[in-house]
Structure 1
Amino acid sequence: MIYKRILGQGLTFIMVLLFIIVAGSVILSKISGGTPTFYGYQLKSVLSGSMEPVIHTGSIVAIKPGGDTSGFKKGDIITFHADENRLITHRIVEVVRNEQTNQVIYRTKGDSNDAPDIEPVLSANVVGRYTGFTIPYVGYILSFAGTKLGNVTLLIVPGLMLFIYAVISLWKTISSLEEKKQGSSIEETNPKTT
């Protein structure tokens, strides 16, 4: 019985801690106007099925940004700018290196697409490399977080949940102390006789 209680409290503590870390990271990056990051990795929403079954629709993926964007090889999964407003995460199927200009161009393709992408990707347009870390369906939430309603919700709901959790914990502690106090006062008024 006591082990279940300790395990439950430990799991609750870990979940609250993880929630605070992730929510804080996302909220801070949204407030600063940047991309959500988590310890140097960018979190990106994947809202199409072009990379299934490796990356499911609605997932978030961790992207390692920066580095030498001309050093990727065939088989790597990269995230790149398709235009100013759209990012795509696809697999490299061919690397073309122009020896005269030292420019690298990638041919990419979604795993579930029938043909490679029409437009080649300049190495300068690559945001980063997919790390292999993905969480299914959370991308929908992250996409919602980019809206005004989502920003307000992400600021209010976690704070409200933590406040309610604190009130319930405080209430349980006070109730427990009152029960102990009443129990000890009953023992004092009715001393045991031997």
Structure 2
Amino acid sequence: MTAILTLPAPGAARALPPVPGRTTAPVLRRVAAGTARWATRALVGIAVLAFAGLALGPHAFGYRTMTMLTGSMAPVIDPGDVVITTPLAVADVTEGMIISYHIPIDDHRVVTHRVIDVDHAADGTVTVQTRGDANDHPDPWTAVLEGDTAYQVQAVIPEVGQVITALRTPWINHLLVYGAPTLLAGWLLLTIWRPTTTDDTTHDQDEEART
């Protein structure tokens, strides 16, 4: 019996099996590099937005930010949360509002508590009594709101105050002042002058030429 073998057509080429690791490694490197670039851009963008919101925004739009240091308003406002307050006419202060104001005793520090009683005098003087939501008793004072403007809490940003407090520590502050610009400049230089990787492409072309 004579066996008949089928020959490939002239000029036809058989596909060679892929070399293990040759196709996945470059893809993984590109994915990792792209992820690192976008992560860096995202961090820079978040830092810029946070700086604009906390440092520039109050001057441009008139709101104020402050970090809650105690748990007197928990669970509405926890320690480390940042509150955003907006100006409000003193005459418009009513019960139930959460306001930030200077207490009339001791060091006259600013507190952020809820108004539980308000008195509008005929001469326009507004006197309030407040209490922290987590406290069992009202604050041991009544406060006369000075000026024409009070500040009402409009929003709470959780945990951001913890980050701000950490950033104010001396060694982190120095690191941000001197290290962050250096890292940013280095990243920009690498982005501009980074050479294009051609090793894998050249090797693939050599393999095709040999086949």
TM over 0.5, yes or no?
A: yes
In the other structure, the counterpart of 1:42 is 64
In the other structure, the counterpart of 1:60 is 82
Counterparts of 1:8-87 in structure 2, within 5 Å, are 12-23=40-51, 26=54, 37=58, 40=61, 41-64=63-86, 66-82=87-103, 86-87=109-110
Aligned with 1:122 (options 120, 144, 152): 144
SS of corresponding position for 2:85? strand
Q: Distance in 2 between matches of 1:43 and 1:159?
A: 26
How much does 1:152 deviate? 3.8
Closer, same or farther: CA 182–151 of 1 in aligned 2, 3 Å: closer
| Equivalent residues of 1:23, 1:154 under 8 A apart | no
Q: Distance in 2 between matches of 1:91 and 1:118?
A: 14
| Equivalent residues of 2:91, 2:124 under 8 A apart | no
In the other structure, the counterpart of 1:132 is 155
How much does 1:73 deviate? 1.1
Q: Distance in 1 between matches of 2:140 and 2:181?
A: 46
Unmatched 5+ residue regions in structure 2? 1-26
| Equivalent residues of 2:77, 2:156 under 8 A apart | no
Q: Distance in 1 between matches of 2:79 and 2:207?
A: 68
Q: Distance in 2 between matches of 1:127 and 1:151?
A: 32
How much does 1:150 deviate? 6.3
Q: Distance in 2 between matches of 1:38 and 1:143?
A: 21
Q: Distance in 2 between matches of 1:93 and 1:106?
A: 8
SS of corresponding position for 2:114? strand
Unmatched 5+ residue regions in structure 1? 30-35
| Equivalent residues of 2:88, 2:152 under 8 A apart | no
Q: Distance in 2 between matches of 1:24 and 1:148?
A: 22
| Equivalent residues of 1:70, 1:123 under 8 A apart | no
Tell me the TM-score normalised to structure 2 length: 0.64
SS of corresponding position for 1:58? coil
Q: Distance in 1 between matches of 2:179 and 2:103?
A: 34
Q: Distance in 1 between matches of 2:165 and 2:127?
A: 29
Q: Distance in 1 between matches of 2:180 and 2:50?
A: 11
Q: Which amino acid aligns with 1:192?
A: A
In the other structure, the counterpart of 1:192 is 209
Q: Which amino acid aligns with 1:55?
A: I
Closer, same or farther: CA 39–54 of 1 in aligned 2, 3 Å: farther
Q: Distance in 2 between matches of 1:151 and 1:16?
A: 17
Q: Distance in 2 between matches of 1:152 and 1:141?
A: 15
How much does 1:186 deviate? 7.5
Closer, same or farther: CA 11–47 of 1 in aligned 2, 3 Å: same
Closer, same or farther: CA 141–123 of 1 in aligned 2, 3 Å: same
How much does 1:92 deviate? 0.5
How much does 1:56 deviate? 0.5
